[in-house]
Chains A and B, each alone.
Chain A
Amino acid sequence: MDFLNEEISQSIGFKELWDKIEPVSELGYKAKKKFKPYLRNEKKQLKAELEKLETVIKIINKKNENFYRLKNLLKEVKDIYGIINQSRIKSTVLDDIDIFEVKKFIIKSKKIKNIIDLMNLNRLFESEIKVFSELLTYLSLGQDKKESFYLANEYDKDLSIIRNKRQSLEKKLIQEKNKLSSEIEKKCGRPFSIDDEINVSKNDQDIIDFLTKSKKVSLISENFAALTFKLIENEKISDLKAQIIKIKKEEEIVKNKIRKKITNRINNNSLDLMENLKQIAYLDFILARAEFSLEISGVKPELSQEQIFKMKKGRHILIENELEKKGMDFTPVDLEIRKGVTLITGANMGGKTVSLKMLALLTAMAQHALFVPAAGFQFNLRNYIYFSLSSDNIKSGLSKFGTEINNLKAVIKNADNYGLILIDEIAHGTNPAEGYAIAYGIINKLDNMNSISIITTHYQRLAEKLDVIHFQVKGLDKNLLSRYEKRIKQNGIDLLNKCMDYRLEKVEKGSDFPQDAIQIAEILGFDAGILKIAKEKIKE
């Protein structure tokens, strides 16, 4: 079983939150994509990771201006794994743009190192970010140590000789051409085209006369409106051109030899370069997680040795945001559970589902090495999270009950493998008598397995018959209700939300359960006779 499958991730809101964590570099994104949640056997690693995150949060919380400089630098770092990898292949020769990218990366690495030293962030890494001074000097031969690259003459004596030779040939060629063309260009008042041609309108008879007489050009085409003359290439010019072509080939061979040398140098540093890439990717990713944790005012989750969960004032960030938009507050929820089954009962609209999703979400966040939105969160590492999907997620075409049973089959099979199993409205997709019986069986089984399960239900009796922990949603607040009663009668049920107390309270055996449904019906002015009978029926 996966730690958290796509559908559950979406349904509890984790996917949406995870998407909000945004590294700024390609590398950081890759690190995020590769990231796997910590499982039960990685307790030490998760603890260390959360401590690192705490360090980063403390540092960036001080509104450190270096933090913004660092992020801007990270934005400009490219993922050059591919290039470094290529340098390791014997036959590869990196091209100038690849070499440029490596040089740029080294310069950026150094700048990043300087800033993280200033920010005291270097303790995140076991080994320091490397600076590659020697390689940088080599990549800067004959040029500045700035972010550009040129295969300068300084790389090889031969290159310098060949280039000088070529340049002098080119100079000669231009001189030769000028000798031929300058007089003509002056006379015609225009330069030759890039094809060494001059086009003349038939209106310019004097120029035509001049060009026709000239031995330096030949007429190559004519139509009713214009004539085209071309510069005659003398032997000297053809010879120079041929020499230049030849020497350019030699130059290219030498350049490739140098590129191979540079590639080898990069290869010699390839492991360290890759280590830097890894460190920078990690840095970007942890900065993104730290910023996110600050944004949600998260606390560091605490890892517990025993199979218990203690959530204090937990908040479901997404639902909290939704409510905020409507001008409403989210009621933080406390919850303490342990191995075995915990039941939650309570009125509809009482936030049972939200509480389940929240616990799943906080657990998923903690195991993805994030801080969690709560006043405190003590948890025990899980190998998977299961959350029963409500009917709107059903794809398979099975009935609601069929789908649930199908899912539960897999869950129960894995229930000895330290799961967090959250089942909303157990077995309520079928008839009440059978539903109750099946629920009874499932709870009985899960309670004795090596997982932590929470089950919400309307079957109040399950709590009485089974020896499990039982919570209920506090439900309608009597004081608030009497205050708002009149307005609710006038304005309808929207105001009822304000009277709900979404907190969970532990229920001892034998205590009454709140009869919110009947009370709500009463406030909404439902038929008094019916309600009277209903009340009597419950007493039975």
Chain B
Amino acid sequence: MNLLEEIENQKAKSVSIIGMAKNTGKTVTLNHILKLAELSNYKVALTTIGLDGEDKDKVLNNLKPRILIWENMIIANAKQLILESKINFEILAATGIDSPLGEIVIARSKERAFVKLSGPSSKHELKLLKKELARYQPDLILIDGALDRKSFSSPALTDAAILTTGAVTADSINSIVKKVSYQTELFRLKKSQDQKINQIMAKLDSETKVLIINEDYKKRVLKLKTALNNMEAIIPLIDSKTKAVYFNGALVNETINNLLNKCSYLNEIEIIVNDAAHIFINSMLYNRFNAKNGSLKVKDEINLIGITINPFSPTGTYLDPIKLLKEVSKAVAPISCYEVVLNKKCSNKGVEDIGFFK
């Protein structure tokens, strides 16, 4: 199966491509999927998460447009980029979502061309935009995302996610494999097995920062601006009657450290976060947390359906692509891995060519 067939197989209507870092080959992967989609006559809608200020200049001045779109494809893009592209577009909607490069506009392309893309910068806006795009009934919504603490461009927003990684993330194949296998482990985190807890989670609003659920499913909402600076206030409230504690926002080393050191009921409760893209704790700490029987759950699961690897790093390193592919694949099985530039895929069946033409 190639990546598009994997998407079809999962019946995914929306897919996000998440880079573990810059230069992990996100755009190459995106173009790869777009090519597969074009060959299958897919109606595609495409958007991306926004740029930070630094990237703004890069996009405007230096970078060549690198994403190939074709006739009838729908994109959500910043106004400035739509206008300067000179591409023939039918303007479908102006979303009211603002970005550094102007309002996000939804448009249907009338020709085959290269574009630069920039989208909304918050998860909430991305969610709205996804809904807007769905109004045009595409076969597939693709979101070009990233893993960072600013946007949480959550892979949990889409039916499926593809992770991109590569030589840029570490010095050796061994350490790359460790990193990607840890990230994959996080992406596999599940919802609570307690359906009553999940029901409570489903009804939460985004304003709730910290929530404690007790054995009788009574909720206690803590009115805090962040969890991070208020662990001293939170930990004493966790007792033998606590079933779960929910943290909205990023789960960072400090939070887990505090819990490990000061919370005596850690092994009896579930820690719940929005989704795995909100977890920014290092693997050593995560292992300590697990060793103490800590239990980490998510409000929304991520459906990771594939990993692509880029053996190049901008510093000039070029790792053995097939070896890297095999090692990563072994560590994240049964998820398939891809080296789309060399057209290779690795799964439990070993390395094979990606099937392009039917």
Residues of A within 8 A of B (CB): 78, 95-97, 99-101, 104, 143, 147-151, 170, 185-186, 188-191, 193-194, 199-201, 203, 223-226, 248, 252
Contacts and interface: CB of A to CB of B under 8 A. Distances in A.
Chain B binding surface SS class = mixed
A198 B80 CA distance: 33
7 contacts: A97-B82, A101-B94, A170-B111, A190-B356, A201-B322, A201-B344, A252-B86
Contacts of A203: 322
Given A148-B91, A199-B341, A95 B83 contact: yes
Contact of B88 (A100, A101, A104, A151): A151
Contacts of B39: 191
A450 B343 CA distance: 91
A255 to B, nearest CB: 8
Contact of B94 (A97, A151, A193, A224): A97
A139 to B, nearest CB: 11
- The 6 A-B residue pairs with the shortest CB-CB distance, nearest first, are A150-B90, A100-B91, A190-B343, A201-B342, A199-B341, A148-B92
B91 A201 contact: no
B318 interface: yes
Given A97-B94, A194-B68, A150 B343 contact: no
A189 B353 contact: yes
Given A186-B357, A190-B354, A225-B321, A147 B344 contact: no
A262 to B, nearest CB: 13
B94 A78 contact: yes
B320 interface: yes
Contact of B90 (A149, A190, A224): A149
A100 B94 contact: yes
B353 A199 contact: no
A189 B357 CA distance: 7
Contacts of B112: 170
Contacts of B105: 97
B318 A223 contact: yes
A248 B111 CA distance: 12
B247 to A, nearest CB: 32
A223 B317 CA distance: 11
A226 B321 contact: yes
The contact size tier of chain B is 35 or more
A147 B93 contact: yes
B90 A148 contact: yes
Contacts of B356: 189-191
A100 B79 CA distance: 12
B13 interface: no
Contact of A191 (B35, B92, B342, B355): B35
A78 B35 CA distance: 37
A199 B311 CA distance: 13
Given A97-B94, A143-B90, A194-B68, 17 more contacts: A95-B83, A96-B83, A96-B91, A97-B82, A97-B83, A148-B90, A151-B88, A170-B111, A170-B112, A185-B357, A186-B357, A188-B343, A189-B343, A190-B353, A201-B322, A224-B320, A225-B321
B89 interface: yes
Interface in B302-358: 311, 318, 320-322, 341-344, 353-357
Interface of B: 31, 35, 39, 66, 68, 79, 82-83, 86, 88-94, 96, 103, 105, 108, 110-112, 114, 311, 318, 320-322, 341-344, 353-357
Contacts of B96: 78
B132 to A, nearest CB: 12
Nearest to A201: B342
A164 B108 CA distance: 19
Given A150-B110, A189-B357, A190-B354, A200 B91 contact: no
A223 B320 CA distance: 10
B63 to A, nearest CB: 14
A391 B258 CA distance: 46
Nearest to B31: A194
Residue of B94, B320, B343 most packed against chain A (CB within 10 A): B343
A97 B104 CA distance: 11
Contacts of A95: 83
Nearest to B66: A194
A241 to B, nearest CB: 13
A345 B342 CA distance: 92
Contacts of B82: 97
Given A223-B318, A225-B322, A150 B31 contact: no
Contacts of A150: 88-91, 110
A185 B35 CA distance: 13
Contacts of A224: 318, 320
Nearest to A101: B94
Contact of A97 (B79, B86, B321): B79
B91 A225 contact: no
A86 to B, nearest CB: 14
Contacts of A191: 35, 39, 356
B45 to A, nearest CB: 15
Nearest to A174: B112
Nearest to A202: B322
A183 B254 CA distance: 58
Nearest to B105: A97
Residue of B82, B94, B342 most packed against chain A (CB within 10 A): B342
B310 to A, nearest CB: 12
A200 B318 CA distance: 15
Nearest to B318: A223
A151 B111 CA distance: 13
A101 B356 CA distance: 42
Nearest to B83: A95
Residue of A96, A104, A223 most packed against chain B (CB within 10 A): A96
B259 to A, nearest CB: 38
A226 B35 CA distance: 22
A237 to B, nearest CB: 15
Contacts of A200: 342
A65 B298 CA distance: 41
Contact of A225 (B89, B318, B355): B318
B321 A201 contact: yes
Contacts of A101: 94
Contacts of B89: 96, 150
Contacts of A223: 318
A203 B342 CA distance: 10
A186 B39 CA distance: 14
Nearest to A227: B342
A185 B68 CA distance: 18
Residue of A95, A170, A185, A225 most packed against chain B (CB within 10 A): A225
A105 to B, nearest CB: 11
Residue of A101, A148, A203 most packed against chain B (CB within 10 A): A148
Contacts of A78: 94, 96
A248 B341 CA distance: 31
Contacts of B92: 148
